[in-house]
Amino acid sequence: MSETDRAVAVELEESARHALLRLVVSQVRQVLRARIVLAAADGDANGAIARELAVSVNTVRKWRGRFAAAGMEGLKDAKRAGRPRSYGPHVRVAIVAAATSAPPHPESTWSHRTIAAQVAGTVFATISASQVGRILADLDLKPHRVRGWLTRRDTPDFWERAASICDLYRDPPEGAVVLSIDEKTAIAARSRRHPGKPAAPGKSALEEFEYRRHGTASLIAALDVNSGEALTEIIARNNAVTFTGFLDQLDKAIAPDQEIHVVLDNGSSHTAKHTKEWLAEHPRWHVHWTPPHASWLNQVELLFSALARRVLRHGDFSSRDDLVDKLQSYVINHNVTAKPYRWTYDGTPLKTA
């Protein structure tokens, strides 16, 4: 098929679709009215015209009579009755100006009520909060909704570093061990004050809001990218000494003739002078640093995400020891059926800036 034979894809926003539908309806009405007048001019009776065009006889009489009285102007839509707008363009402009600016001190977001007060003070027009809501809805403007975003640091080699880590996951060096290491800190051991209720047909499970605190626990985890298995340890402090102590355990457990590639983010325990000195003394360890604000490239975060969903989110822990036991049991069970994560992302931007 040649380039010229291909159909151009057409995508419509909702507003454009409504506008086109209104145009089609308007054109259909005009054509119908013209056909009624033309048939009448040919001498056809009202009943025959109605049957031919599938309309009522009253519709034929209406447009036949309006054309006879006013000509082409008679075929146009008559002005509709209704109360004129209570608020002019200057009020609508004032509402938009308020909604797209910073709210008054000390508030952080606009409400319909505060916008109405702002408009009353700028254009001296009294308007209700509900009317402000209707005008904003008509403009598809939602000042109460806020989405978070992150300004990435100016790192010229951001995508090169991201692609390097993805290449390591997708095509690891032959015979080498590839580890993804990070800590999950301050995991709260909380127990509900009252037992929950299980789900039932047509009803969600119920979970008590109030809880008691029993302390926190932190763990460090190393995920073997090639096998999907994980080694974890409960840690008392998250610092460079603890981190390098964990690396010592891994170094002793891995065969001395194997190269070790490890993915680390820029956490303080990973970039500390003590840690860098340890890495310099162990040349078979090759570190792949994630770019700033890209800890999501560290594959062990997938393990932490599953741990949070399966154990922590709705967990009930009677003590810190109970929390630790469930954390360790989850990892043990995970390793029984562990499989490597299927990593498909290649480290290129998913969207252009």
Q: pLDDT (tens digit, 9 = 90+) per residue, 184-205? A: 999 999 999 998 898 999 999 9
**Which pLDDT score, from 0 to 100, does residue 88 have?**
75
3-state secondary structure of 112: helix
The overall average pLDDT reported for the chain is 89
pLDDT value at 271 more than 90: yes
Which segment of 3-17, 54-68, 92-106, 222-236 scores lowest on mean pLDDT? 3-17
Cα–Cα distance between 149 and 151 in angstroms, integer? 7
Chain position carrying tokens 């860098």: 276
**Which pLDDT score, from 0 to 100, does residue 329 have?**
97
- What spatial distance separates the first Cα and last Cα of the chain, rounded to whole Å? 33
**Which pLDDT score, from 0 to 100, does residue 344 have?**
92
pLDDT value at 293 more than 90: no
Cα–Cα distance between 238 and 219 in angstroms, integer? 9
Percent of the chain with pLDDT over 70: 91
Q: pLDDT (tens digit, 9 = 90+) per residue, 301-351? A: 999 999 999 999 999 999 999 999 999 999 999 999 999 999 999 888 875
Chain position carrying tokens 């932190």: 218
Question: Residue range 215-228: average pLDDT?
Answer: 96
CA distances for 242 relative to 219, 233, 234, 235, angstroms: 11, 10, 10, 7
Question: Residue range 10-16: average pLDDT?
Answer: 70
3-state secondary structure of 223: strand
**Which pLDDT score, from 0 to 100, does residue 6 have?**
61
**Which pLDDT score, from 0 to 100, does residue 85 have?**
63
CA distances for 112 relative to 122, 252, 265, angstroms: 15, 64, 43
Question: Residue range 179-185: average pLDDT?
Answer: 97
In the CATH scheme, what is the homologous superfamily, with its name and number, of domain 158-198+206-336?
Ribonuclease H-like superfamily/Ribonuclease H (3.30.420.10)
pLDDT value at 273 more than 90: yes
**Which pLDDT score, from 0 to 100, does residue 75 have?**
82
pLDDT value at 353 more than 50: no
**Which pLDDT score, from 0 to 100, does residue 83 have?**
67
CB 110 within 8 A of CB 144: yes
Which segment of 8-17, 22-31, 149-158 scores lowest on mean pLDDT? 8-17
pLDDT value at 279 more than 50: yes
Specify the amino acid at residue 76.
K
| Between 125 and 135, the higher pLDDT residue | 135
**Which pLDDT score, from 0 to 100, does residue 7 have?**
64
CA distances for 145 relative to 100, 108, 346, angstroms: 12, 11, 33
For residue 260, give the nearest of 337, 198, 172 by alpha carbon: 172
What DSSP assignment string belongs to 33-94? HHHHHHHHHTT--HHHHHHHHT--HHHHHHHHHHHHHHGGGGGSPPPPP-PPPSS-HHHHHH
CA distances for 283 relative to 36, 192, 278, angstroms: 91, 49, 9
Q: 12 falls in which pLDDT band (50, 70, 90)?
A: low
CATH topology of domain 13-75: Arc Repressor Mutant, subunit A (1.10.10)
Question: Residue range 284-295: average pLDDT?
Answer: 93
Question: Residue range 143-168: average pLDDT?
Answer: 83
Cα–Cα distance between 246 and 236 in angstroms, integer? 12
Helix (H) or strand (E) holding 164: helix 158-170
Q: 111 falls in which pLDDT band (50, 70, 90)?
A: very high
**Which pLDDT score, from 0 to 100, does residue 8 have?**
61
Q: 124 falls in which pLDDT band (50, 70, 90)?
A: confident
Q: What's this model's pTM, rounded to 2 decimal places?
A: 0.65
φ, ψ (nearest 5 deg) of residue 246: -65, -40
Which segment of 7-11, 196-200, 208-212 scores lowest on mean pLDDT? 7-11
pLDDT value at 30 more than 90: no
Cα–Cα distance between 64 and 75 in angstroms, integer? 9
Question: Residue range 269-275: average pLDDT?
Answer: 96
Q: pLDDT (tens digit, 9 = 90+) per residue, 250-266? A: 999 999 999 999 999 99
